[in-house]
Structure 1
């Protein structure tokens, strides 16, 4: 059951367990890879340290703090190894590319690529190799295909020139080059031009623009962390994404069906060795479009922006164009090899803007090593390419835009593996390099020369000019705020809150008051909050679940007695299936009535008379074996054993052999289940019952073990010691009477677990207050006599003894909070509306310590339960009406505690009890407010002598 008094420990131990699992599972396998130096939290790791739109800059700073250019990020348990130096990057991309060729699978990207059947985003497998080989084969350029591409590109450029750029016009470079690049790539795919005004082409480009924007939108990241959400809820942006994917697929297929002869698509489709299906071919085309125009348009835009900023570079490029091509004929691919300065400028533009600061993530396909560190299979690898392009040891002055760095002293272009050019990896390398880089480089070369030949480009001061580049529009911190906001809205708006006052401690979104609760002091906290609020009813919020705490006698009486039918149910939690609490129904009430019927305590009840004799036999045995030895006896263990034997005899109607193996196992199971009932490691099974079928903790295994042991031993004892009274309680087998069986166990458990504490403290307080002890002893001697045996009717005549018992129970307050109740319908309490299924907890400790009710609640004064004439107050009379020792109403205990009271009289009648200072005596025995809190408050060890 989710019991509020355990919440502080729940939080601490749950976090400890989860953190331990997290460390073992997520950190230990990569134990050699140093963690990022950024602040990180347990479980969520570095999540709150990351700003996605600045991640490329953050990785640079963190890489400077790492000793070897490699470190590890942990984001919600996902391991991400970041490689920032050339040696590590070269190992990932080139030297050992077969071990790092995988791609981490992301939900939205899988959605956009038909489950990863493209090239760029697909995980590494045999089909990927086939797809990439097919694309490379048909992207290769010979003189004929180069001529076709040149003519197509120039045709597109001329159309845009005639449509948009004639005369002295202001042009948005970003918009221009996005459209221009898109049309050139489509022409390559189709083998023919499509009109600029073709509606399908315009709409297709819009769908691609939407995909580029939405695939990395922070608002959609929730579908990555909660992939099941797509089956139950589609946000507005998610619907927009789906519409963009469906629109892209529909329009692209519509366009492609008329172009199955020429171009890239027709070439692959007609390949005689085709071993790809039509979906894979379609995904290759889709990949080519988005990969080609999405990044290339940025490079082209920034090329001209940097030409405007660096006039000397532009003049050098123009001089080379004039020398090699002139300004009258269009450029060709073959011209590029004779233009080293323009080639160097193109390389420097891509290095300087570094438009892909993080290459697409890689993933290890097997356990491997990187830079001496062990890397587990399926680990995500980030190639921090920005750190490479800004490394002063490599470039000298990386912040400067200087194309000459890619030229030799004689002015020729450095070869790919020469000097600093070997560090240039903008298109990736190895198995996951871009297969279309040659094509796009040629297209960009044609565009650069074409525009520089025809236009004198100047900058226009415009408020929308924006030179800053942000890598993805995804902000992890904003995403977390989004998640918190969603839950906060649910818990604090949509989930209606009670009108009752709330606990005065800080109430956090989602967590509520959980950080304010100290399990061991929870009973005292409730009383302190009650006094602080000066309200008899208030709410505690635990993970969005509101618990109504009531602290007044009037409310408690309504819950437990007056309107008990409205507050009888026990909150249904998974642990109830293994515990001692069951819900109220007709079968429950009938079963309980049968049990209580057999425990009407008077000496004329034949069954009760038998139990009295059994109790006396047990007391005689204990007295002869343990108490007549003239030595100190530790009362905690003594009264636990004695109470258990008396309770068992009461329930079975006969003496149970204390050495019976089944009895020993039953006692062990009850004791262990009592401890486990409040074990914080079991709380997750209340919140997530399905977890029981997946994984059982050691505590859960113990719970299951002792539950089975309880059932087996109790059923065995019921069969072995079956008496005539059992036939009235049980019909058929015990297994078929589960509720009645549980009520028997309930009675035994509660009778045993709570009564021995009262038993022990009764005698401890007699020794602390000798005047009370003398009055009780005198009353017993007067009523029973010297040699007579006590009985139930005589106990009822002992007013002072009963008053002492009541005061012991009130003073020690060993059950300071009731077990939770639950409302069966909408109702009211203290003038406040209470909804159905509200959990209600009675703060019995506040009632027992209420000065307005008791006057001097901290004083041990049995006389408060007596009239002026010395007789005992009746139920509902004087202060006794405020006394709620064993709950009340439907949830009250059966009356088996009467035997314990008889045992007290017996021991007081037969022995003189004295206390000797004992080194093992617990110093807190007379300070119940400081006792450990479990199901009940429990005192420590206390030694006495029975003379």
Structure 2
């Protein structure tokens, strides 16, 4: 019977047509293997699989695969997959500080130490400042705006205008202080409503941070009970999360999946529709009420620039469509990053009361409990500033930065980086590097202070990135973080509820790194 079975399976080999087809298939597979072999000189990394490369960390070998499939810790909802920034940091211990993965046949170069990040983003900035064309990002942004737009003349023109206009309305200037302090009055009122009861600080902090952006971009603030405003903030946070942590990520492999009429695909399309309608309504209101002699905000200034450009340059990149995507960048990125940093600050203060006491003591000496803080106080509050910096180092709200792309073939740390390679600076790894930071996993604000208690500026501290595409909102974020944090510490003592489980401190990975939902108690001082 066994021989008969083998004879049955061997018959195709006697058929000339089948032999020819099998030979052709073998030839095609051989050619594909030869053509898809990684180029010489690439950084080390796990061997890619045919067609998919290293896509899906479950394809990684050995212990790394197990670390991805099962979290090292049990979370609030049971075990969770290890977050990408943690997995890539672990891979650097295996393959080195510069290593290579493949997304399909495309190399993705991960930079895991400060020297590699600096060499790529600063020393070779012209080569490594472009953005890769990632399907889900391209669909949502149309490759416009400031954050995700390709590097080139249009991006430089739009960024220069955006930065100068935001400065006109207070970016990096003391003139913006009153708006931030005014917004904090509403924060204080909202927190006082809870008395000694635990509450979720996310909506309050998110509203306040977004309103500072809105005052500059839209010329107005929104009431905390404004249903449309609250909905938009919630939708933005949700979109950033599901774009990375759901099946929506598969759109980057099969773009047509974006149009599936169910699940997170449908949810993301609906969010895009709702946020688009919200922002375009605001732009239309500005167009209808524009006073050319007295521009109120960023949108007015941009609309005037559009009119001016039309007179002399019909091919200008300034138009209402581009304005929409810049406003989206400001509204979404500007809200989410600073909101999460402040939430991390409150969480760390509630879990480290000894640090909070030192912050309180410094504030008592410099401002007391009645005078509102000012940016001029920064120089006299080194421990408070060091505390904010240590929270940023520990959490890095954009842990993998925003991916870059090599616009030309280059040599980096002795390796050949082909044109078109995706570049991922792992800022989390940089900020947890034991060769730079002593006991990097411990929360120690004093690491940013010298023996005299004065602030130390450390080159390796890069929460906003470095190079030509450093975060445009860095100055605004620093202003908001200092003034809001000091004002909150001035008015409250934050406690973590005794009966509550401590949240997993590795954070919830999306485009930004947010803390898992938590409640705190804000006691009036």
In the TM superposition, residue 326 of structure 1 has moved relative to its aligned partner by 1.4
Q: 1:173 aligns with which of 201, 207, 211?
A: 201
* CA distance in structure 1 between the partners assigned to 2:252 and 2:11 by the alignment: 33
Q: Per-residue displacement from partner, 1:362-416 (whole Å, max 9, x unpaired)?
A: 101111111122211111011122221121111122122111222233322223x
Q: 1:83 aligns with which of 92, 103, 111?
A: 111
Asked if the contact 1:101–1:124 (Cα under 8 Å) also holds between the matched residues in 2, the reply is: yes
Residue in structure 2 matched with residue 267 of structure 1 by the alignment: 301
Work out whether 1:24 is the aligned partner of 2:66. no
- For residues 21-60 of structure 1, the aligned pairs below 5 Å read 21-22=32-33, 24-25=35-36, 27-28=38-39, 31-36=40-45, 38=46, 40-47=48-55, 48-49=59-60, 51=68, 53-60=82-89
Change over 3 Å in CA distance of 1:66–1:223 after alignment to 2: closer
Q: Per-residue displacement from partner, 1:42-83 (whole Å, max 9, x unpaired)?
A: 44332312647532222222212235x211112322211112
Work out whether 1:322 is the aligned partner of 2:331. no
Work out whether 1:138 is the aligned partner of 2:172. no
- For residues 248-287 of structure 1, the aligned pairs below 5 Å read 248-259=275-286, 261-271=295-305, 276-287=318-329
Give the TM-score normalised by the residue count of structure 1.
0.46
Asked if the contact 1:153–1:184 (Cα under 8 Å) also holds between the matched residues in 2, the reply is: yes
Point out 4+ residue stretches in structure 1 off by more than 6 angstroms: 6-13, 141-145
Q: Per-residue displacement from partner, 1:652-711 (whole Å, max 9, x unpaired)?
A: xxxxxxxxxxxxxxxxxxxxxxxxxxxxxxxxxxxxxxxxxxxxxxxxxxxxxxxxxxxx
* CA distance in structure 2 between the partners assigned to 1:229 and 1:143 by the alignment: 42
* CA distance in structure 2 between the partners assigned to 1:225 and 1:108 by the alignment: 9
* CA distance in structure 1 between the partners assigned to 2:35 and 2:492 by the alignment: 63
* CA distance in structure 1 between the partners assigned to 2:390 and 2:237 by the alignment: 27
Residue in structure 2 matched with residue 407 of structure 1 by the alignment: 449
Q: 1:438 aligns with which of 471, 475, 478?
A: 475
In the TM superposition, residue 296 of structure 1 has moved relative to its aligned partner by 1.7
Work out whether 1:449 is the aligned partner of 2:481. no
Change over 3 Å in CA distance of 1:328–1:14 after alignment to 2: farther
* CA distance in structure 2 between the partners assigned to 1:273 and 1:315 by the alignment: 54
Residue in structure 2 matched with residue 159 of structure 1 by the alignment: 186
- For residues 529-568 of structure 1, the aligned pairs below 5 Å read none
The SS at the match of 1:299 is helix
* CA distance in structure 2 between the partners assigned to 1:119 and 1:23 by the alignment: 39
Work out whether 1:396 is the aligned partner of 2:438. yes
* CA distance in structure 1 between the partners assigned to 2:24 and 2:510 by the alignment: 37
* CA distance in structure 2 between the partners assigned to 1:104 and 1:401 by the alignment: 35
Query: Unaligned 5+ residue runs, structure 1?
Result: 416-420, 475-947
In the TM superposition, residue 226 of structure 1 has moved relative to its aligned partner by 1.7
- For residues 196-595 of structure 1, the aligned pairs below 5 Å read 196-230=224-258, 233-259=260-286, 261-271=295-305, 276-415=318-457, 421-461=458-498, 463=500, 465-470=502-507, 472=509
Asked if the contact 2:171–2:476 (Cα under 8 Å) also holds between the matched residues in 1, the reply is: no
How many residues matched?
461
Question: Larger relative CO (CA 8 A, sep 6+): 1 or 2?
Answer: 2
The SS at the match of 1:266 is helix
Deviates more, 1:254-263 or 1:279-288: 254-263
Change over 3 Å in CA distance of 1:130–1:144 after alignment to 2: closer
Q: 1:191 aligns with which of 219, 223, 226?
A: 219
Asked if the contact 2:43–2:416 (Cα under 8 Å) also holds between the matched residues in 1, the reply is: no
The SS at the match of 1:99 is coil
Q: Which has the larger radius of gyration?
A: 1
* CA distance in structure 2 between the partners assigned to 1:10 and 1:411 by the alignment: 77
**RMSD of equivalent CA atoms:** 3.0
In the TM superposition, residue 437 of structure 1 has moved relative to its aligned partner by 0.7
- For residues 762-773 of structure 1, the aligned pairs below 5 Å read none
* CA distance in structure 1 between the partners assigned to 2:416 and 2:234 by the alignment: 45
* CA distance in structure 1 between the partners assigned to 2:170 and 2:103 by the alignment: 50
Q: 2:143 aligns with which of 109, 116, 121?
A: 116
* CA distance in structure 2 between the partners assigned to 1:19 and 1:446 by the alignment: 63
Asked if the contact 1:104–1:362 (Cα under 8 Å) also holds between the matched residues in 2, the reply is: yes
Q: Per-residue displacement from partner, 1:846-866 (whole Å, max 9, x unpaired)?
A: xxxxxxxxxxxxxxxxxxxxx
In the TM superposition, residue 448 of structure 1 has moved relative to its aligned partner by 0.5
The SS at the match of 1:104 is coil
In the TM superposition, residue 268 of structure 1 has moved relative to its aligned partner by 3.4
Asked if the contact 2:136–2:255 (Cα under 8 Å) also holds between the matched residues in 1, the reply is: no
* CA distance in structure 1 between the partners assigned to 2:27 and 2:94 by the alignment: 29
* CA distance in structure 1 between the partners assigned to 2:319 and 2:216 by the alignment: 21
In the TM superposition, residue 101 of structure 1 has moved relative to its aligned partner by 0.8
Asked if the contact 1:56–1:471 (Cα under 8 Å) also holds between the matched residues in 2, the reply is: no
* CA distance in structure 2 between the partners assigned to 1:207 and 1:8 by the alignment: 58
Q: Per-residue displacement from partner, 1:442-472 (whole Å, max 9, x unpaired)?
A: 0111111111111121111455752333554
In the TM superposition, residue 157 of structure 1 has moved relative to its aligned partner by 2.0
Asked if the contact 1:357–1:471 (Cα under 8 Å) also holds between the matched residues in 2, the reply is: no
Asked if the contact 1:46–1:75 (Cα under 8 Å) also holds between the matched residues in 2, the reply is: yes
Q: Per-residue displacement from partner, 1:208-227 (whole Å, max 9, x unpaired)?
A: 23322332243223322122
Give the TM-score normalised by the residue count of structure 2.
0.80
Residue in structure 2 matched with residue 127 of structure 1 by the alignment: 154
The SS at the match of 2:436 is helix
* CA distance in structure 1 between the partners assigned to 2:276 and 2:505 by the alignment: 33
Change over 3 Å in CA distance of 1:200–1:142 after alignment to 2: closer
The SS at the match of 1:457 is strand
Residue in structure 1 matched with residue 5 of structure 2 by the alignment: none
* CA distance in structure 1 between the partners assigned to 2:470 and 2:34 by the alignment: 34
Asked if the contact 2:43–2:415 (Cα under 8 Å) also holds between the matched residues in 1, the reply is: no
Change over 3 Å in CA distance of 1:284–1:220 after alignment to 2: same
The SS at the match of 2:244 is coil
* CA distance in structure 1 between the partners assigned to 2:191 and 2:116 by the alignment: 47
Q: Per-residue displacement from partner, 1:115-140 (whole Å, max 9, x unpaired)?
A: 11111111212111111111211222
* CA distance in structure 1 between the partners assigned to 2:20 and 2:44 by the alignment: 29
